[in-house]
A and B are shown apart, each in its own frame.
Chain A
């Protein structure tokens, strides 16, 4: 059984070399979470406030989930900055992040911590007007607010 299993596993690993949806064999190491000084508190907002900010158009929505989840569906107009691949994606979106006066960061929903981790890191990078949209994708999608798919 072990030999058959290993043979199939090796075949799968080899197929990845020519696979149209191939992935790196080693996933990038998630970045270390940063702590902010005790007096800095990043404000959390709920779906109603998030929708108000979205309507204003002054805030850029930042999706901290993985590229796959972002492609499946995200808040309309949001950019993707996956927390787990921060170092790879940050240089690509840095200019866009600076294009709006404030950021609203979200992840899947209330039980995910990606948005908080990303918000703290972006604060450290110098962004001061940062909100965490606590309800995230699930709250936005359930409320029937505007969404998009694809990159």
Chain B
């Protein structure tokens, strides 16, 4: 592994840990207040009423799990595929709310209490997170420095 490869692999680890950290920081307040998160989901007016509370209870735990996987470096492909799918869904929801002009808070990092209403800020921010997640997902894993000698 030459110096440039080593530098990239450090950047990759930093990106992976940052992505994992974002998911954990976003998950914790929602795990603590599912009632407020359910309200935030309901405000988007996307899910039917009977899926709102179940999503509010399950989703933060899924975010937390895959965020933790990314930080500790366990099942990185699986975890980054999951975060990419989640970021795509979140971004779609935000753009949809923004396009419909409904005046709601994001609820992304917790409950949305006291936050400013959704604007292009959230769209740009989540697009960057999605790119980060895609990069972690698609970057080739580091190869062994030398070909493994064939035996026999």
Contact = CB atoms under 8 A, between A and B. Distances in A.
Interface in A8-43: 8-13, 15-16, 19, 21-30
Interface in B4-61: 31-36, 38-39, 42, 49-50, 52-54, 56-61
B75 interface: yes
A84 B30 CA distance: 22
Interface residue SS majority, chain B: helix
A7 B64 CA distance: 12
Interface residues of B, number: 36
A52 to B, nearest CB: 25
B56 A8 contact: no
A11 B61 contact: yes
B140 interface: no
A72 B82 CA distance: 33
A interface bracket (residues with beta carbon within 8 Å of B): 20 to 34
Contacts of B79: 1
Contacts of A9: 58-59, 61-62
Interface in A51-91: 66, 68-69, 72, 84
A31 to B, nearest CB: 11
Contacts of B102: 111
Interface of B: 31-36, 38-39, 42, 49-50, 52-54, 56-62, 64-66, 69, 75, 78-79, 81-82, 101-103, 111, 113-114
Q: Which 4 A-B pairs have the closest CB atoms?
A: A12-B61, A9-B58, A8-B65, A68-B39
Interface of A: 1, 4-5, 7-13, 15-16, 19, 21-30, 66, 68-69, 72, 84, 108-112, 138
Given A11-B61, A69-B39, 16 more contacts: A1-B78, A4-B75, A4-B82, A5-B66, A8-B61, A8-B65, A12-B60, A12-B62, A16-B57, A23-B57, A25-B53, A26-B53, A26-B54, A66-B42, A72-B113, A112-B103
